Amino acid sequence: MDTPEQPQIYLITPPTIELSTFTNRLASVLDGAEIACIRLALAGGDEDTIARAADACREVAHARDVALVISNHVLLAQRLGLDGVHLDDAARSVRFARKELDAEAIVGSFCGASSHDGMSAGEAGADYVAFGPVGASTLGDGTMAEMDLFQWWSETIEVPVVAEGGLNPDLVRDLTPCTDFFGIGDEIWSQDDPLAALKGLTDAMR
């Protein structure tokens, strides 16, 4: 995942999806906006359900040259030919994932609001670190990742950073100078027109 001047969009799927309709909604967002990466972030541990969703989303993503990573399932990522894994346990699983997956695989780490966890994840080989929530959201334990954290990180640490959880246009505008990616999920999927909702957020980057 490259880090250009303006933040890129990192799309996060809803925790439950209706495959028959979701793949079309996903395709329309990918066709209408520049997306760097997609995270399959399904709730529950039923491997068959996850594998079916992963296959369907991978087809849509790879047809458009967009990478697809999966939350936490390192071995499934490998088996299903996905592009990597997003880990929710700060730095704890990063070394394991790095060892299991090939060198090209994306390994990302969610670190809540902890700069220490972020640095540990980076040292363990994470390709990016995600902090959040930045707004009103049930992400993580609810501890807000403040603006200062992103400013400090962007000035001192080279590992790319993702801002996610409870984004709105004001937060996007404020965080644009100090994040590499915006992790956007529920902010758009809860709306009737996800692409229009995404445009409302990305317009705030300008």
* 53 within a domain of the structure (yes/no): yes
Residue 2, in any domain of the structure: no
For the segment 11-40, what is each residue's pLDDT rounded down to a tens digit? 999 999 999 999 999 999 999 999 999 999
Model pLDDT, residue 3? 47
Q: Residue 88 falls within a domain, yes or no?
A: yes
In a domain, residue 30? The reply is yes
Residue 31 phi/psi, 5-degree rounding, is: -75, -20
Q: Identity (one letter) of the amino acid at 149?
A: L
Question: What is the percent of the chain where pLDDT is above 70?
Answer: 98
Specify if 92 maps to a domain: yes
Q: In what helix (H) or strand (E) does residue 69 lie, and over which residues does it extend?
A: strand 67-71
Return the bridge partners of 161, or none.
129
Q: Would you tell me how many other CB atoms lie within 10 Å of the CB of residue 23?
A: 17
Which CATH number covers residue 176? 3.20.20.70
- Within a domain: 64: yes
Beta strands 84-87 and 35-40 are: unpaired
Residues of the domain holding 182: 8-205
Ranges under pLDDT 50 in the chain: 3-4
pLDDT tens for 103-129 read 999 999 999 999 999 999 999 999 999
- Count of domains for the chain: 1
The predicted structure's pLDDT at residue 1? 55
Cβ-based burial of 21 (10 A; exposed 0-12, middle 13-18, buried ≥19): exposed
Residue 3 covered by a domain: no
Mean pLDDT of the chain: 96
Residue 69 placed within a domain: yes
Kindly give, in sequence order, each residue whose CB lies less than 8 Å from that of residue 181, ignoring residues fewer than 6 positions away.
1, 3, 7, 8, 9, 10, 36, 37, 128, 160, 161, 162, 163
